[in-house]
Amino acid sequence: MASMNARSEFEARLLPHLDAAYNLARWLLRDERAAEDAVQEAALRALRYLGSLRGDDAKPWLLGIVRNTCFTMAGRRRDAPEQFALDDVGLELERIAEPDARGDPVAALERREQGARVDAAIRALSPALREVIVLRELEELDYAQIARVLSIPIGTVMSRLARARERLRVTLSSTGVGGKT
């Protein structure tokens, strides 16, 4: 059982990063329930090994634990077919039917469709490219933090990020989504 000091330290240093942990797990596992399980397991591991955390930046340390937990879980589920939640489809259809804040349902639908194409393009990336895009563009980690999370050299982070951005650019330009990635 963890001491009260460890729990307080966990709450202060790691709790603020649980949303980022869930986001990474969701992108890696492609399943919301599995991502929740992975974050819970990773949080328990983080609490158990909190004494090994060095420095002030706990986010990369936690995300590294989440990443390893996700790969362990994915290995266990390798034979299981990929699933999606039908409830999510219904929720998305409800959101599409609602107009945006400016009252333009057509513009809202176009933004949602564009977002869905971007999400699909990210999901189509290989796990190695997907994780660098998620960590850099969605979680806004710098190259050194990403290198720490992935346990790879910064040069490898940079080359993977360049490849991921190029693949996204090509995919999104072929689906009619403009702009830079």
Token pair, residue 142, equals 């710098």
Question: What Rg do the C-alpha atoms of the chain give, in angstroms?
Answer: 18
Q: What was the pLDDT predicted at 12?
A: 85
pLDDT at 151 over 50: yes
CA 136/CA 3 separation, integer angstroms: 34
CATH 1.10.1740 positions along the chain are 4-76
pLDDT digits (tens, 9 = 90+) for 3-35: 678 778 888 888 899 999 999 999 999 889 999
Is the CB of residue 39 less than 8 Å from the CB of residue 22?
yes
Pick 35 or 99 by higher pLDDT: 35
| The pLDDT of residue 3 | 65
Residue 42: C-alpha distances to residues 66, 71, 124 (Å): 5, 12, 25
Average pLDDT score, the chain: 82
Domain 4-76 has CATH 1.10.3470: no
Rounded CA-CA distance 14/67 in Å is: 15
With bands split at pLDDT 50, 70 and 90, how would you rate the model's confidence at 177?
Answer: low
| Residue bearing the bigger pLDDT, 84 or 27 | 27
What pLDDT is stored for residue 105 in this prediction? 81
Please, which pLDDT band fits residue 75 given cuts at 50, 70 and 90? confident
pLDDT tops 50 at residue 141: yes
Which of 61-65, 103-107, 168-172 shows the lowest mean pLDDT across its residues? Answer: 103-107
Q: CATH for 87-174, among 3.40.50.1860, 3.40.50.300, 1.25.10.10, 1.10.10.10?
A: 1.10.10.10
Using pLDDT thresholds of 50, 70 and 90, give the confidence band for residue 78.
Answer: low
Model pTM score: 0.69
| In the chain, ranges of CATH 1.10.10.10 domains | 87-174
Most confident of 99-103, 114-118, 166-170: 166-170
